Amino acid sequence: QKSLASLNCQLSFTGVPRAMVTEQRYSSEHSSKFKGKIIGYRHLQCLLIFTGFCLIFATRVNISIAIVAMMDNKAANPDFTEYPWSEQTKSHILSSFFCGYILLQIPAGAWARRLGGRLLLLISISLTSLLALLTPLAVSVGNWPLLCAVRFFQGVLQGVLFPTIATIMSKWAPVEERSAMQTFIYSGAQLGIVVMLATSGNLCSSPWGWPSTF
The per-residue pLDDT for range 139-150, each reduced to its tens digit, is 989 889 999 999
Count of beta carbons in the 10 Å neighbourhood of residue 65: 21
pLDDT at 42: 78
Query: Of 93, 90, 71, 91, which Cα lies nearest the Cα of 80?
Result: 71
Q: Is the pLDDT of residue 10 over 60?
A: no
Confirm if 78 and 201 have CB atoms less than 8 A apart.
Answer: no
Which tens digits make up the pLDDT trace of 50-81?
Answer: 998 899 899 888 898 888 888 887 777 777 88
Q: What domains sit in the chain, N to C, each tagged with a CATH number?
A: 1-35 (no CATH), 36-213 (1.20.1250.20)
Q: Is the pLDDT of residue 178 over 50?
A: yes
pLDDT band at residue 18 using 50, 70 and 90 as cut-offs: very low
Q: Is the pLDDT of residue 123 over 50?
A: yes
According to DSSP H, which parts of the chain are helical?
Answer: 2-14, 18-28, 41-71, 87-101, 107-115, 117-158, 161-172, 175-205
Q: Is the pLDDT of residue 182 over 80?
A: yes
Q: Give helix 161-172 / helix 175-205 axis angle, nearest 10°.
A: 140
